[in-house]
Amino acid sequence: DAKTTQPNSMESNEEEPVHLPCNHSTISGTDYIHWYRQLPSQGPEYVIHGLTSNVNNRMASLAIAEDRKSSTLILHRATLRDAAVYYCILRRGGSNYKLTFGKGTLLTVNP
């Protein structure tokens, strides 16, 4: 799977929007962009995914650059429960649905 680059850590205040960036300059045309998060002492949790168009769901929004070489996960109003490590993962279709987790971004939310 192609490589992604994320900041090691970010900080936000409660109730404010958070924009988590991800660079994936070697993305191929068939790669889906997935975001997962891992709350303290829990297993990873799916957040959102997209291919080309921006996506919204109840948890977050995903903004994908026109050239698809970068994307941004948007949490519209951060809460203390959003403090977690956020992983940006490229997923290519194939016979093994392996998720290749990088180091991710540790998001701290201040009250």
Partner 1 sequence: EAQVTQNPRYLITVTGKKLTVTCSQNMNHEYMSWYRQDPGLGLRQIYYSMNVEVTDKGDVPEGYKVSRKEKRNFPLILESPSPNQTSLYFCASSLEASSSYNEQFFGPGTRLTVL
Restricting to residues 47-66, which ones interact with partner 1 according to CB under 8 A?
49, 51
102 binds partner 1 (CB under 8 A): yes
Shortest distance, position 9 Cβ to partner 1, whole Å:
15
The Cα–Cα gap between 39 and 18 comes to 16
List the one residue out of 83, 105, 72 whose CA is nearest residue 12: 83
- Confirm or reject binding of residue 98 to partner 1 (CB under 8 A): yes
Q: How far is the CB of 68 from partner 1 (least distance, A)?
A: 14
Exactly one of 6, 31, 68, 75 binds partner 1 (CB under 8 A); that residue is: 31
Nearest of 40, 39, 22 to residue 90 by alpha carbon: 22
CB nearer partner 1, residue 67 or residue 95: 95
19 sits in which H/E element: strand 18-23
DSSP string, 57-91: -SS-EEEE-TTSSEEEEEESS--GGG-EEEEEEEE
Q: Binding residue for partner 1 (CB under 8 A) from 7, 23, 44, 72? A: 44
Nearer to partner 1, 47 or 109 (CB): 47
* Residues binding partner 1 (CB under 8 A): 30-32, 34, 36, 41-46, 49, 51, 91-99, 101-104
